[in-house]
């Protein structure tokens, strides 16, 4: 589905076709989704940005939606993900852009700001903050921390296991992930089920919602379900299977700082913040414009609370433009 006010173009890099919705005129803003989402996740931001005078580019990332799904796991490492973003930038004839990411998209845009700082005007992470490089490979460290319990990222590592569960019933998967991750509303038994070491899968542990939240319509859920029924979830899961590889690939950036203007946006009830606290990496953000924590919101922040997210984004973009103009005038 092409987002309102945009046209879809295909960007090809190393034989991988990426579907990108592009619209508007003005400074470029790229919106990068996470797992398990699509470019469609930014449907509330695109019209607001175009109306405010920005050009937007919104890809379905590799492994998702209308874009290609390479078979090799290593084709989803951070080098491929960030090179995709640069290929899109170049295809649009642009030198730089503000990059906005959510969830895994945040990981990609934070890393891009380190790897190609000259191409990044500013960076906004949502739900996943900038995190300094761990002292040892990421998943290996998680196996130590969560030894004797269940943690979804560890469960996602073995090819075929999580794939079978998530692909087995895409409607159940998307319904429980989007509507069953209830911010601040898990009962004691539900919380225990999330971490107990047993044979249950990840989706098995999420409660079946009694209904949809007010921010998600049945038609919107149905669109996600139809897309993931067609594509499966393996592409997105392969991003997780590169976490240790990414640790090794980023060794040269261990002490690097994000020098561009940056912002972090999250819901105060986002469960990701329990194991990825934003203050852990803030010392590495040299031009940090702060964090916006939206009270009571959960993980799907740009869909749950679009008005507040859009206001924060537009304020950041205006401030970033002013900063760039001041630097250019010196």
More confident residue, 182 or 13: 13
Q: For all residues of the chain together, what is the average pLDDT?
A: 94
DSSP code of residue 252: G
Write down the H helix ranges in 67-187.
Answer: 78-91, 104-115, 138-145, 152-155, 161-168, 170-179
Catalytic residue (one of 33, 80, 102, 299): 299
pLDDT at residue 195 in the model: 81
> Nearest-5° angle of CA 303, CA 309, CA 315?
155
**Residue 326: is its pLDDT beyond 50?**
no
Quick one: what percent of the chain has pLDDT higher than 90?
Answer: 87
Angle, alpha carbons 212-206-211 (nearest 5°) = 15
CB 64 within 8 A of CB 235: yes
Residue matched to tokens 């299977």: 241
In a domain, 1, yes or no: no
Q: Is residue 265 part of a domain?
A: yes
Annotation marks residue 299 as catalytic:
yes
Give whole-number Cα distances, 128 to 79, 104, 135, 230, in Å.
Answer: 19, 7, 19, 28
Residue with tokens 């290593």: 74
How many domains are there within the chain?
Answer: 1
- Measure the CA angle with vertex 219, ends 213 and 220; round to 5°: 65
Q: Tell me, what CATH number does 123's domain have?
A: 3.40.50.1820
Decide if 208 is inside a domain: yes
pLDDT given for residue 287 in this prediction: 98
CA separation for the pair 144, 139 (Å, rounded): 9
Q: What is the pLDDT of residues 288-320, one digit of tens each?
A: 999 999 999 999 999 999 999 999 999 999 998
Ramachandran bin of 129, using left for φ above 0, alpha for ψ from -120 to 50, beta for the remaining angles = beta
pLDDT of 54 > 60? The answer is yes
Residue 309 CA to residue 328 CA, distance in Å, equals 28
In a domain? residue 239: yes
Q: Domain residues for 108?
A: 7-329
Q: Would you call 105 exposed, middle or buried from its count of C-beta atoms within 10 A (0-12, 13-18, 19+)?
A: buried
Residue 2 forms part of a structural domain: no
d(CA 161, CA 158): 6
Which one of the listed residues 77, 103, 163, 270 is annotated catalytic?
A: 103
Residue 290 lies in a domain: yes
Helix (H, G, I), strand (E, B) or coil at 87: helix
């Amino acid at each position: 589905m092409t987002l309102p006010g945009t046209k879809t173009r295909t960007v090809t890099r190393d034989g991988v076709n990426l579907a990108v919705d592009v619209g508007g005129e003005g400074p470029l803003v790229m919106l990068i989704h996470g797992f398990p989402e699509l470019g469609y996740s930014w449907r509330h931001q695109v019209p607001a940005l175009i109306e405010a005078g920005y050009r937007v580019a919104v890809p379905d990332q590799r492994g998702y939606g209308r874009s290609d799904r390479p078979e090799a796991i290593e084709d989803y490492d951070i080098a491929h993900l960030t090179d995709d973003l640069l290929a899109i930038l170049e295809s649009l004839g642009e030198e730089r852009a503000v990059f906005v990411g959510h969830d895994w998209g945040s990981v990609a845009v934070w890393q891009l700001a380190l790897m190609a700082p000259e191409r990044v005007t500013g960076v906004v992470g949502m739900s996943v903050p900038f995190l300094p490089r761990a002292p040892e490979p990421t998943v290996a460290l998680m196996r130590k921390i969560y030894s004797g319990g269940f943690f979804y990222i560890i469960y996602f590592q073995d090819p075929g296991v999580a794939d079978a569960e998530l692909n087995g019933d895409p409607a159940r998967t998307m319904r429980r992930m989007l509507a069953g991750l209830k911010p601040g509303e898990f009962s004691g038994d539900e919380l225990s089920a999330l971490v107990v070491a047993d044979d249950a899968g990840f989706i098995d542990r999420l409660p079946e919602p009694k209904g949809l939240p007010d921010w998600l319509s049945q038609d919107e859920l149905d669109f996600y379900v139809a897309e993931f029924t067609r594509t499966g979830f393996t592409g997105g899961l392969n991003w997780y299977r590169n976490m240790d590889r990414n640790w090794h690939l980023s060794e040269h950036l261990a002490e690097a700082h994000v020098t561009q203007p940056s912002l972090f946006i999250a819901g105060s009830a986002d469960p990701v913040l329990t194991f990825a606290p934003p203050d852990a990496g803030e010392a590495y953000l040299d031009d940090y414009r702060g964090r916006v924590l939206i009270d009571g919101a959960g993980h799907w922040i740009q869909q749950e609370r679009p008005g507040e997210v859009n206001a924060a984004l537009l304020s950041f973009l205006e401030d970033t433009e002013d900063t760039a103009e001041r630097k250019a005038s010196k």
